[in-house]
């Protein structure tokens, strides 16, 4: 190829002894580095060095003489001259110092170019990298503009590293210039050359305030063409190429002949080796071969080789090729493509030749003197290969890297000015779609974008569609050649469509075949044919799985993804699936099918599915309900339900919390599934979620009624058997202080003491107003908070400070004093049979007392001391046992049969609630934003059963056999303790 741009260099940094001392200078040690930097920068632009030298430095006058005396290259149109060294003020103005102390005017370099032999030169760029370079450039410009000289006809651009009287720091200009060139070189349809003025401005900004670049110019009003942009692309399709149009398109790296651009990328080392082979003059084998499977780029490689070396290129049958070779002048560099191939892409109707014919052809070709050839053969070639053969199938990793560079250039051309971060992200997105397949990568060679330039996101979306469609087509063609078109379309479409649902999806052969409605062996046959466009992703147990690198094209007769999704065995027979061991990718597909309503029933309504799959899969399945049109309210309820279920916890705990959440937030399908017994939980009923503006603060219960107190001073009443409401909520005048409930004469009755020092009677199962019972308020009761406890026998015990009083319900008689304790009473609890009622008194001192009640109270029983101040207390129904939670977190059991029993509270958790009967102790409280319960069986040696709660437990009550009412701040919950946690 003809040379259009050349450059020359000179530089002096080392001087003879005494020169620098005489002039007050020092040697410039970085001159060789500056010359090397500029040589690399100018060579990177495609310029060729004229008058090269192999020493570290060259004298400026030597360069001037060589330009004057040597032959001028007649095909050179532009020249860049770079000079570096000391700049001094000589007899004739600015001069460049030579090593012997003499000096050379830069204008002499220009004068050397004024001869007729340089008449074809059109543009000159002179760069002086020295101190005080400004006057030297001005003098050179004057020389260039002298009348009646050849240089006066040329354009001149002068760049100086410094202005008059300024110092030029060593290495600064050359480094800044090389960096400016590197930044300016960008793929472009419009910018064919770099502007010296723009480069000078960029360099000037890098040098700092004490060194300024100087420009001296004299040229026509047209752009400088001495500094070509090597990444510029002609916006018009090329004409007159030496290859057939389709072959030339592949050699240029475009998808079709009518597209502009030369984008061939990669194979640098191989191309250099092939060029060396074509130009060799030794006695080595004149033939070398390139082999590869279809789509590895054989034709593109050899076409590019032909276009860049001028080698003769050919295709066809052996006889035609021999005639072409014999008629060509020698020596001959020859590139032959598509040999021994039964289906030439450009000649589909050509007659298939035999291996024997091709073998004879190669033997004859070797015998023709002066011919060296590169041959392209299929990987399955039937003829003997030359000794030197390059296998492109072995270079797939190199292809992938080259494809990324190819795509990078396409992005920069299509979206000029895109940010580097956006380009990198787009490359990361696009490159995997092509794998290492060049036939796919060229799908993004789009026509030049001018005034309708799109954003990089628009380009990414468009390029992704192009890549996906091309990859899909390439895979169908390869698989179809072996299995037929129908199977190929089904196999390729099934994998691409299903992998598009989720990044985790990779299909085992069985599921892939089922989705495509083909045999498993068909899928296994297709995998190697799809090559790098299908990614192998074995499962953790080693089961082979595959994932498409490309997406499923939309429209164009392609089946919808749902068609393949509903064929999966796990979709049709999901009830038999073992969710815990199912492949994660298949889990994602099945959950999506469930959300889309493609299966009989909805998996998101099945606790077994929600609990069996990874939490992330279940979360996505719930979120996808929105795409199916479920109401936002339903989605919100399900989301709140699912938030209660921890990602990592024992199976029984997760099931319990899911059941609680489903009942609490009224997710009826999930509740109904639980009620059929899958899976089994201890939950009996859950109070629906209340308004978030009120919270439950206290609870007490009997076998016939549960009474709850809320922070808005209202009371609610529920049947402990099934949670149904016994009566409408009722407010009690004054804030409730203590609540007690008992079944008196077969009717549940509640007594409520308030901070107004009043006691009210409330019917639990009748819609009647609370009734004030002043006779139960002891004398001086207004001086201390009132604590009250009602016994089923009708006895009432009231405490005020350290005094304890007793009375009867509905008797109308005033209370009478029962006891005086050593400190204020913190809790009062009545218990025992109707004929033998007892009361437990819990003072602040911790010296508990148990007294018998009756018309005449029995003698006092010895106190039951506890080590710390009591916080909460529970009494067994029979009245012979008590559980005390103290302020230190300790659990103290007192009473008959439990002497010596020690209960250990859970570490780090607060205990606020307690209940017990003859065989069971239950304690609970808050932990973080949730709650906990421990169920102790003191008669057993086993550790307590831990039950998680969705909210903090504020009270618990045992009723019946193994049945527990739990009051959480959000509402009531009933559990059967003979469940999975027991």
Alpha-carbon dihedral of residues 637, 639, 642, 643, nearest 10 degrees?
Answer: -110
With a CB cutoff of 8 Å and minimum separation 6, the contacts of 33 are 171, 174
CA 675 to chain CA centroid, nearest Å: 40
Q: pLDDT tens digits, residue range 153-192?
A: 899 999 999 999 899 999 999 999 999 999 999 988 889 9
Residue 860, pLDDT score: 53
Q: pLDDT tens digits, residue range 657-675?
A: 999 999 999 999 999 989 8
Q: Which residue has the higher pLDDT, 829 or 254?
A: 829
Q: How far apart are the first and last CA of the chain?
A: 89
Q: Is 394 left (phi over 0), alpha (psi -120 to 50) or beta?
A: alpha
Bridge pairing between strands 93-97 and 155-160: unpaired
Q: Can you tell me the distance from the alpha carbon of 979 to that of 982, in angstroms, rounded to the nearest whole number?
A: 6
| Residue 842 parent element (H or E) | strand 838-843
Mean pLDDT score, 693-712:
91
CA distances 447 to 238, 258, 441, 721, Å, are 14, 9, 15, 76
Q: Can you tell me the distance from the alpha carbon of 679 to that of 688, in angstroms, rounded to the nearest whole number?
A: 21
CA 129 to chain CA centroid, nearest Å: 49
Residue 626, pLDDT score: 66
CB 409, CB 265: distance < 8 Å: yes
Mean pLDDT score, 943-961:
89
Mean pLDDT score, 409-437:
90
Residue 349, pLDDT score: 45
pLDDT of 450 higher than 50: no
Task: Return phi, psi of residue 765, to 5°.
Answer: -125, 20
> What tokens appear for 213 in the block?
């670049």
Q: pLDDT tens digits, residue range 595-605?
A: 676 776 677 88
Bridge pairing between strands 971-976 and 123-129: unpaired
pLDDT of 624 higher than 80: no
From 31-40, 719-728, 786-795, 937-946, the region with the lowest mean pLDDT? 937-946
Helix axes 632-643 and 651-664, enclosed angle (nearest 10) = 150
CA distances 579 to 487, 540, 614, 639, 667, Å, are 31, 16, 9, 21, 22
Residue 977, pLDDT score: 87
CA 965 to chain CA centroid, nearest Å: 46
What DSSP designation does 251 have? H
CA 69 to chain CA centroid, nearest Å: 65
CA atoms within 13 A on the CB side of 742: 23
Q: Can you tell me the distance from the alpha carbon of 477 to that of 70, in angstroms, rounded to the nearest whole number?
A: 60
Count of other CB atoms within 10 angstroms of residue 346:
16
Q: Can you tell me the distance from the alpha carbon of 51 to that of 70, in angstroms, rounded to the nearest whole number?
A: 9
Q: pLDDT tens digits, residue range 554-588?
A: 877 888 999 999 899 888 887 777 777 788 888 88
Residue 346, pLDDT score: 45
Percentage of the chain surpassing pLDDT 90? 54
Class of residue 883 by CB neighbours under 10 A (exposed 0-12, middle 13-18, buried 19+): buried
Alpha-carbon dihedral of residues 320, 324, 326, 331, nearest 10 degrees?
Answer: -140
Mean pLDDT score, 351-371:
86
CA atoms within 13 A on the CB side of 881: 20
Of 467, 444, 435, whose CA–CA distance to 531 is shortest? 435
Give residue 801's pLDDT band: very low, low, confident or very high (50, 70, 90).
very high
CA distances 351 to 335, 338, 410, 423, Å, are 21, 13, 38, 47
Mean pLDDT score, 838-857:
84
Count of other CB atoms within 10 angstroms of residue 711:
13
Q: Which DSSP string corresponds to 516-564?
A: HTS-HHHHHHHHHHHGGGEEE---TT---EEEESSPPPPSTTPPPHHHH
From 128-137, 374-383, 490-499, the region with the lowest mean pLDDT? 374-383
Mean pLDDT score, 455-468:
88
Q: Can you tell me the distance from the alpha carbon of 463 to that of 965, in angstroms, rounded to the nearest whole number?
A: 62
With a CB cutoff of 8 Å and minimum separation 6, the contacts of 603 are 574, 590, 591, 593, 594, 609, 621
Long-range CB contacts (within 8 A, 24+) of 508-511: 508/539, 508/543, 508/544, 508/545, 508/583, 509/544, 510/569, 511/568, 511/569, 511/570, 511/586
Q: Can the peptide bond before residue 331 be classed as cis, meaning omega within 30 degrees of 0?
A: yes
pLDDT of 341 higher than 50: yes
Q: Is 636 left (phi over 0), alpha (psi -120 to 50) or beta?
A: alpha
Residue 527, pLDDT score: 96
Burial pattern 584-597, b for ≥16 Cβ within 10 A else e, equals: bbbbbbbbbbbbbe
Q: pLDDT tens digits, residue range 876-909?
A: 888 888 888 888 878 888 877 666 666 776 666 6
Mean pLDDT score, 685-705:
87
Count of other CB atoms within 10 angstroms of residue 780:
11
Alpha-carbon dihedral of residues 255, 260, 261, 262, nearest 10 degrees?
Answer: 60
Q: pLDDT tens digits, residue range 44-95?
A: 999 999 999 999 999 999 999 999 999 999 889 999 999 999 999 887 789 9
Q: Can you tell me the distance from the alpha carbon of 281 to that of 370, in angstroms, rounded to the nearest whole number?
A: 9
Q: Can you tell me the distance from the alpha carbon of 102 to that of 90, in angstroms, rounded to the nearest whole number?
A: 9
pLDDT of 855 higher than 70: no
CA-angle at 765, arms to 761 and 766, nearest 5° = 75
Sheet with 87-90: list strands edge to edge. 87-90, 93-97, 103-104
Q: Which DSSP string corresponds to 410-426?
A: HHHHHSTT--HHHHHHH
From 64-68, 384-388, 473-477, 645-649, the region with the lowest mean pLDDT? 384-388
With a CB cutoff of 8 Å and minimum separation 6, the contacts of 933 are 922, 923, 924, 946, 947, 949, 953, 956, 964, 966
Residue 905, pLDDT score: 67
Residue 509, pLDDT score: 95
What DSSP designation does 498 have? H
Task: Return phi, psi of residue 763, to 5°.
Answer: -75, 130
Q: Can you tell me the distance from the alpha carbon of 637 to that of 116, in angstroms, rounded to the nearest whole number?
A: 91
Mean pLDDT score, 192-217:
94
> What tokens appear for 523 in the block?
């899928």
Percentage of the chain surpassing pLDDT 70? 93
pLDDT of 644 higher than 50: yes
Q: Which residue has the higher pLDDT, 759 or 836?
A: 759
Q: Which residue has the higher pLDDT, 91 or 369?
A: 369
Give residue 344's pLDDT band: very low, low, confident or very high (50, 70, 90).
very low
Q: Which residue has the higher pLDDT, 774 or 780?
A: 774
What DSSP designation does 741 have? E
Of 890, 896, 786, 889, whose CA–CA distance to 831 is shortest? 896
Mean pLDDT score, 15-20:
93
Residue 160, pLDDT score: 96
pLDDT of 864 higher than 80: no
CA atoms within 13 A on the CB side of 667: 26
Residue 571, pLDDT score: 85
Average pLDDT taken over every residue of the chain: 88
Residue 760, pLDDT score: 95
> What tokens appear for 401 in the block?
């890297």
CB 460, CB 430: distance < 8 Å: yes
CA-angle at 603, arms to 601 and 605, nearest 5° = 85
> What tokens appear for 223 in the block?
């752009």
């Amino acid at each position: 190829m003809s040379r259009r741009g050349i450059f020359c260099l000179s530089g002096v940094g080392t001087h003879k002894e005494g020169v620098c001392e005489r002039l007050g200078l020092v040697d410039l040690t970085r001159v060789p580095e500056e010359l090397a930097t500029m040589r690399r920068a100018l060579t990177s632009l495609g310029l060729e060095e004229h008058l090269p030298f192999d020493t570290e430095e060259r004298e400026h006058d030597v360069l001037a003489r060589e330009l004057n005396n040597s032959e001028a290259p007649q095909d050179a149109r532009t020249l860049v001259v770079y000079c570096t060294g000391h700049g001094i003020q000589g007899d004739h103005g600015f001069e460049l110092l030579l090593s012997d102390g003499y000096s050379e005017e830069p204008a002499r370099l220009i004068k050397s170019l004024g001869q007729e032999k340089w008449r074809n030169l059109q543009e000159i760029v002179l760069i002086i990298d020295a101190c005080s370079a400004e006057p030297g450039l001005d003098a050179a410009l004057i020389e260039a503009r002298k009348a009646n000289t050849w240089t006066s006809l040329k354009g001149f651009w002068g760049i100086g590293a410094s202005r008059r009287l300024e110092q030029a720091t060593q290495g600064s200009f050359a480094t800044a210039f090389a960096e400016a060139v590197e930044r300016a070189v960008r793929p472009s349809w419009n910018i064919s050359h770099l502007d010296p003025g723009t480069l000078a401005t960029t360099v000037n900004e890098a040098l700092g305030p004490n060194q300024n670049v100087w420009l001296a110019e004299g040229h026509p009003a047209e752009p400088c063409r001495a500094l070509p942009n090597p990444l510029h692309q002609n916006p018009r399709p090329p004409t007159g190429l030496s290859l057939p149009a389709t072959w030339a398109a592949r050699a240029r790296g475009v998808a079709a002949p009518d597209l502009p651009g030369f984008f061939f990328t990669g194979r640098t080392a191989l191309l250099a080796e092939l060029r060396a082979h074509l130009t060799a003059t030794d006695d080595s084998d004149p033939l070398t071969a390139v082999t590869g499977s279809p789509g590895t780029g054989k034709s593109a490689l050899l076409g590019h080789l032909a276009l860049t070396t001028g080698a003769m290129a050919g295709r066809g049958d052996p006889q035609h090729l021999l005639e072409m070779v014999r008629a060509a002048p020698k020596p001959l560099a020859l590139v032959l493509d598509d040999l021994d191939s039964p289906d030439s892409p450009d000649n589909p109707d050509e007659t298939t030749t035999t291996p024997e014919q091709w073998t004879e052809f190669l033997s004859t070709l070797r015998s023709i003197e002066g011919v060296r050839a590169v041959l392209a053969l299929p990987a399955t070639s039937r003829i003997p290969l030359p000794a030197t053969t390059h296998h492109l199938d072995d270079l797939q990793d190199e292809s992938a890297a080259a494809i990324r560079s190819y795509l990078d250039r396409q992005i920069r051309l299509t979206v000029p000015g895109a940010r580097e971060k956006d380009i990198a992200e787009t490359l990361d997105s696009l490159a995997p779609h092509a794998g290492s397949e060049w036939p796919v990568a060229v799908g993004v060679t789009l026509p030049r974008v001018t005034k309708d330039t799109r954003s990089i996101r628009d380009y990414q979306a468009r390029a992704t569609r192009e890549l996906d469609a091309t990859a899909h087509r390439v895979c169908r063609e390869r698989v179809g050649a072996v299995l037929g078109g129908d199977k190929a379309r089904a196999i390729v479409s099934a994998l691409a469509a299903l992998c598009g649902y989720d990044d985790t999806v990779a299909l085992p052969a069985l599921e892939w075949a089922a989705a495509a409605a083909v045999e498993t062996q068909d899928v296994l046959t297709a995998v190697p044919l799809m090559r790098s466009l299908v990614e192998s992703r074995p499962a953790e147990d080693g089961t082979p799985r595959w994932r498409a690198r490309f997406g499923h094209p939309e429209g164009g007769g392609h089946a919808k993804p749902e068609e393949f999704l509903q064929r999966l065995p796990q979709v049709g027979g999901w009830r038999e699936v073992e969710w815990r061991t199912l492949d994660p990718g298949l889990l994602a597909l099945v959950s999506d099918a469930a959300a889309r309503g493609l299966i009989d029933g909805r998996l998101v309504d099945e606790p077994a599915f929600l609990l069996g799959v990874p939490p992330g899969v279940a979360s996505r399945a719930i979120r996808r309900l929105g795409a199916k049109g479920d109401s936002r309210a339903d989605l919100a309820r399900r989301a709140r339900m699912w938030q209660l279920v921890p990602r990592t916890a024992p199976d029984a705990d997760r099931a319990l919390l899911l059941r609680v959440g489903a009942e609490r937030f009224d997710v009826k399908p999930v509740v109904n599934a639980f009620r059929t017994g899958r899976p089994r939980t201890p939950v009996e009923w859950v109070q629906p979620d209340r308004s978030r503006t009120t919270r439950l603060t206290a609870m007490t219960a009997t076998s016939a009624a549960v009474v709850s107190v809320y922070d808005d001073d209202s009371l609610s009443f529920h049947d402990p058997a099934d949670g149904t409401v016994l009566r409408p909520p009722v407010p009690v005048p004054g804030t409730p202080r203590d609540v007690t409930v008992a079944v008196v004469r077969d009717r549940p009755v509640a007594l409520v003491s308030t901070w107004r020092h009043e006691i009210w009677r409330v019917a639990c199962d009748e819609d009647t107003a609370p009734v004030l019972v002043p006779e139960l308020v002891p004398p001086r009761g207004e001086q201390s908070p009132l604590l009250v406890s009602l016994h089923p026998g009708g006895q009432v015990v009231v405490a005020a400070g350290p005094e304890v009083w007793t009375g009867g319900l509905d008797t109308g008689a005033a209370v009478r004093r029962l006891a005086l304790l050593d400190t204020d009473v913190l809790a009062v609890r009545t218990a025992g049979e109707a004929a033998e009622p007892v009361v437990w008194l819990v003072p602040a001192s911790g010296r508990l007392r148990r007294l018998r009640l009756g018309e005449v109270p029995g003698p006092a029983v010895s106190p039951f001391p506890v080590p710390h101040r009591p916080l909460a207390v529970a009494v067994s129904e029979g009245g012979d046992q008590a559980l005390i939670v103290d302020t230190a977190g300790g659990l103290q059991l007192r009473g008959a049969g439990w002497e010596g029993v020690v209960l250990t509270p859970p570490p780090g958790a607060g205990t606020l609630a307690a209940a017990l009967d003859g065989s069971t102790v239950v304690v609970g409280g808050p932990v973080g934003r949730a709650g906990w319960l421990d169920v102790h069986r003191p008669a057993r040696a086993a550790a307590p059963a831990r039950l998680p709660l969705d909210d903090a437990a504020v009270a618990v009550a045992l009723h019946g056999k193994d049945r527990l009412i739990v009051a959480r701040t959000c509402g009531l919950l009933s559990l059967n303790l003979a469940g999975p946690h027991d």
